[in-house]
Amino acid sequence: DAGVIQSPRHEVTEMGQEVTLRCKPISGHNSLFWYRQTMMRGLELLIYFNNNVPIDDSGMPEDRFSAKMPNASFSTLKIQPSEPRDSAVYFCASSLLTSGTYSYNEQFFGPGTRLTVL
């Protein structure tokens, strides 16, 4: 298995532009997470999906952020318009939620997208 795939790996954009980050989870996993990592705030959970449905988006910083998961093998995180304070590394992770126990198995991370907003 190729693991969790993210694209692009690096993104540099100007303030006000739209940014779209992409993620392909591990085949067979039914849960997907988007995280943001900065030096100041560490690793923050933005949103997570179970069976393609957003379960909790309380970590999404504001309305400029949106995430979709149209099918089990693809998710996007969009920032529109982008601001310099959005500069961070964005990680996607996937896992298998065991039904009944609501217990996750191992969570696997992608390599991340380093976003710089000028």
Q: Which is nearer to other proteins, 28 or 42 (CB)?
A: 42
90 binds other proteins (CB under 8 A): no
Q: Which is nearer to other proteins, 82 or 113 (CB)?
A: 113
Q: What is the DSSP string of 10-23?
A: EEEE-TT--EEEEE
Task: Please state, in angstroms and rounded to a whole number, the distance separating the CA atoms of residues 94 and 104.
Answer: 10
**Separation in Å, CA 96 to CA 15, 99, 117, 118:** 36, 9, 33, 37
106 binds other proteins (CB under 8 A): yes
Query: Rule CB under 8 A: which residues touch other proteins?
Result: 33, 42-43, 45, 48, 50, 55-56, 91, 93, 97, 101-112
